[in-house]
Amino acid sequence: MKSYRILVINPGSTSTKVAVFEDKREILMTSISHTEADLQQFSTISGQHSFRLTFIEEALIKNGFDIKTIDCVVGRGGLLHPVPSGTYRVNEAMFRDLKKGEWGEHAANLGGAIAYHIGQELGIPAYIVDPVVVDELGPVARITGMPELERKSLFHALNQKAVARKTAEDLGKKYEEANLIVVHMGGGISVGAHEKGRVVDVNNAFDGDGPFAPERAGSLPAGQLVELCFSGKYTKEELKKRLVGNAGMVAHLGTNDMRKCKKVMKDGDTRARLIYEAMAYQVAKEIGSCAAVLKGKIDGIILTGGLSYDEAFVNMIRDRTQWIARIFISPGEKEMEAMALGGFRVCRGEDEARVYEFMRIERRHLEVV
């Protein structure tokens, strides 16, 4: 049976991760760091395209890898029109939306755009897998108390879907047969209710709602937020930064580093301990909300992302939620592997690549029109 070589590209705010997989096996993994000075020369994220592409090509050459031997390239999916879960062929419409920042600017937009560029150069397919805009919300989950405002699905779909599939397999089930609550805990925190293969409810982690996180404000008292918006103290952009980036632990303690927080806690900082415990408390409360969504029929709760390495933090969440279902810990992120597996499944014919076009998320059910 033919084996496949898959190039994986995952751009972050100050780094670009590059990997090569042979079928399901990782044969190369490297991370390229970019200085603030390097990136400040570009007025937009899309302007970094050629800059990052050059570093990727140089990294492959440095590691003795011939780019012409790859069968497909998979980039991190960025901000696009809401789409169902799956692996998507990067076409001209997607490339245009990513380059223009049609649905928002984010470093992840570069993943699909660079993959498309390499694919066009080599004459091979380019894909993205489960971008952050995966939207499988049920109709009732979209409604708020203001008709003008509808809840959106923006979360860590790639890692959530990857660990959910793996945990379902460990339970002897298909992902489409399992009910799971997945908690991704990094700079932002997303808690998703996975019902029979679909994320029917999840907090919008990109805009900062749900639990507060190391860098995000979480859901806030609406009235007080309105007062703050019209206080004259902040511009619109400054206030957005107060919600995402300069919020959460950063706002309270001046750091997003859990290790620093724990150090000052050990030295007797009671304020730091209170914030630390409050963040775990809010995560547990969000898990309880998802348990209600799934009507208590839950096969497991999965804690993943960087914060799941913190045993004390995990135990605080466990103490409040272990009565709901069995808890699984999947530390770190499985993003590179998840992207490679998405490309591999399409190469092998196990999945069919979806086509990106204008899509609408229907109220009654999810469909592409």
List the strands of the sheet with 126-129, edge to edge: 25-33, 15-22, 5-11, 72-75, 126-129, 87-89, 354-355
Question: What is the domain extent for residue 40?
Answer: 5-133+335-367
pLDDT given at position 110: 94
Residues 300-350: pLDDT tens digits?
Answer: 999 999 999 999 999 999 999 999 999 999 998 889 999 999 999 999 999
User: Does one domain contain both 206 and 81?
Assistant: no
Q: Residues 320, 188: one domain? A: yes
pLDDT digits (tens, 9 = 90+) for 47-90: 999 999 999 999 999 999 999 999 999 999 889 999 999 999 99
pLDDT for residue 361? 44
Grouping H, G, I as helix, E, B as strand and the rest as coil, residue 298 is coil
* Number of neighbours of residue 103 by Cβ within 10 angstroms: 15
**DSSP conformation class of 332:** B
Tokens of 57: 């090509």
Under 8 Å between Cβ of 272 and 261: yes
Same domain, 39 and 54: yes
Residues 201 and 264 placed together within one structural domain of the fold? yes
pLDDT at residue 369 in the model:
33
- The pLDDT value given to residue 145: 94
Question: Does 276 lie in the same domain as 347?
Answer: no
Q: pLDDT value at position 363?
A: 39
Shared-domain flag, residues 124 and 202: no
Helix (H, G, I), strand (E, B) or coil at 250: helix
Count structural domains, the chain.
Answer: 2
Task: For tokens 């890692």, name the residue.
Answer: 159
Report d(CA 53, CA 237) in Å as an integer.
30
Predicted pLDDT at 362: 44
Amino acid residing at 139: P
Residue with tokens 């397919």: 125
* Exposed e or buried b per residue across 137-158, where buried means at least 16 C-beta atoms within 10 angstroms of its C-beta: bbeebbeeeeeeeeebbbbbbb
Tens of pLDDT, residue by residue over 260-270, are 999 999 999 99
| Angle at the Cα of 206 from the Cα atoms of 223 and 49, rounded to 5 degrees | 140
Going by C-alpha positions, the residue among 12, 42, 314, 8 that lies closest to residue 187 is: 12
Give me the residues paired with residue 96 across strands.
none
Do 67 and 145 reside in the same domain of the chain?
A: no
Query: DSSP alpha helices (H): ranges in 305-357?
Result: 311-321, 335-347
Contacts of 326 (CB under 8 A, 6+ apart): 299, 300, 301
Q: Are residues 159 and 295 in the same domain?
A: yes
Q: 117 and 204: one domain?
A: no
Quote the radius of gyration of the chain (alpha carbons, Å): 21
End-to-end Cα, the chain, rounded Å: 37
Q: For 86, list phi and psi in degrees, rounded to 5.
A: 150, -175
Nearest alpha-carbon partner for 272 in 232, 313, 238: 313
Do 58 and 71 have their domain in common? yes
**CATH assignment of the domain containing 305:** 3.30.420.40
DSSP string, 107-172: TTHHHHHHHHHHHHHHT--EEEES-TTB----HHHH--SSTT------S-HHHHHHHHHHHHHHTT
Q: Where are the beta strands (DSSP E) in the chain?
A: 5-11, 15-22, 25-33, 72-75, 87-89, 126-129, 179-185, 189-195, 198-202, 300-305, 327-331, 354-355, 360-361, 366-367
Q: What SS3 state is found at 318?
A: helix
Q: What percent of the chain has pLDDT over 70?
A: 97
354 contacts 81 by C-beta, under 8 angstroms: no
* Residues 314 and 340 reside in one and the same domain: no
Q: What is the per-residue pLDDT for 365?
A: 40
**Sheet containing 179-185: which strands, arranged edge to edge?**
198-202, 189-195, 179-185, 300-305, 327-331
Residue where the block lists tokens 């547990």? 284
Residues 235 and 312 in one domain: yes
The pLDDT score that the predictor gives to residue 329 is 97
Regions of the chain with pLDDT less than 50: 360-369
